[in-house]
Amino acid sequence: MAERRFIYGFHAVIAKLRHSADDVAEIFLDRQRQDARARDLVKLAETHKVRLIQTDPARLDGMAGGNARHQGVVALVTGAQRVLKLDDVLDTLSEPPLLLVLDGVQDPHNLGACLRVADAAGVHALIAPKDRACGLNATAVKVASGAAETVPYITVTNLARTLRELQERDILTVGAAGEADTDLYVIDQRGPLAWVLGAEGAGLRRLTRETCDQLARIPMLGSVESLNVSVASGICLFEARRQRGLQG
């Protein structure tokens, strides 16, 4: 029997519909949602002949395991979990992208924690290289506590080239680096943005660092020199959300 699981959130469900609709068995939508986003989802489901069921929020909460960020939409899908391409996600957005790029994070516990942070901050996708990274294994998925389903995880062959592709889309790429002269709080983060973070200790690789549009530091007032990558991600991403008015 094929694996069956729930995914939730508009970005995840729409991307799944557009690129592998045959894997979507049913979609459950909060009957109270009558906004344009919900109407577009209904039309997309009709186009792909996927059954859509209007239901109550409590049922959606149960399907999503109590995750409050399901946004009123849950889909039952079959088949193994698939990674997406960057365009799969960016082409579905109706707001400035907020992305998290991880360079060289090899501990799956850190990746899972970063996914949880990304979910909480409303990040549209997490990008990581195929090599020199742990990958979305079972440990990372477990630590993510459901965020592996809500945050699209995108692997790329060449991270520097991907950063340049983001820049061609007018997405600002900011690398977190302790030696940077610029404080993260003075950067305008309201537009399209990708935060780029390296592994704890090693930091960003040289080519990644050189490819970023700019570098920024987290002010450190104590004796420690660096933070865990998931903690640093949270600081950077929630500053972006603060500047955007914390609207997901």
CA distance 198 to 165: 19
Residue 14 assigned as binding residue: no
Structure confidence at residue 187 as a pLDDT band (50, 70, 90): very high
Residues 101-154: tens digit of each pLDDT: 999 898 989 999 999 999 999 999 999 999 888 888 767 877 887 677 778 899
pLDDT value, residue 82: 58
pTM over 0.75: no
Region 227-239: mean pLDDT is 95
Residue 186's contacts (CB-CB under 8 Å, 6 or more residues apart) are none
Which pLDDT score is estimated for 2? Answer: 58
Helix (H) or strand (E) holding 76: strand 73-78
- Residue pair 102/92 in contact by the 8 Å Cβ criterion: no
What angle (nearest 5°) sits at the alpha carbon of residue 175, between those of residues 169 and 180?
A: 135
pLDDT band of 68, cuts 50, 70, 90? low
C-alpha–C-alpha distance, residues 97 and 90, integer Å: 7
**By the 8 A CB rule, do 92 and 15 touch?**
yes
At residue 146, the pLDDT reads 67
Say what the pLDDT of residue 168 is: 96
Q: Which CATH number fits the domain 87-246, given the four candidates 3.60.21.10, 3.20.20.140, 3.40.50.300, 3.40.1280.10?
A: 3.40.1280.10
**Structural domain spans, the chain:** 5-82, 87-246
Residue 9 assigned to a binding site: no
Residue 227 assigned ligand-binding role: yes
DSSP state, residue 195? E
Q: Mean pLDDT of all residues in the chain?
A: 88
Q: What confidence category does residue 67 fall into, taking pLDDT thresholds of 50, 70 and 90?
A: low
Q: How many whole angstroms separate alpha carbon 118 and alpha carbon 67?
A: 14
Q: Locate 194 and state its tokens.
A: 């990708």
Asked whether residue 200 carries a pLDDT value surpassing 80, the answer given is: no
What percent of the chain stands above pLDDT 90?
58
Arch. (CATH architecture) of 5-82: 2-Layer Sandwich (3.30)
With DSSP H G I counted as helix, E B as strand and the rest as coil, what are the percentages for the chain, rounded to 5?
40, 25, 40
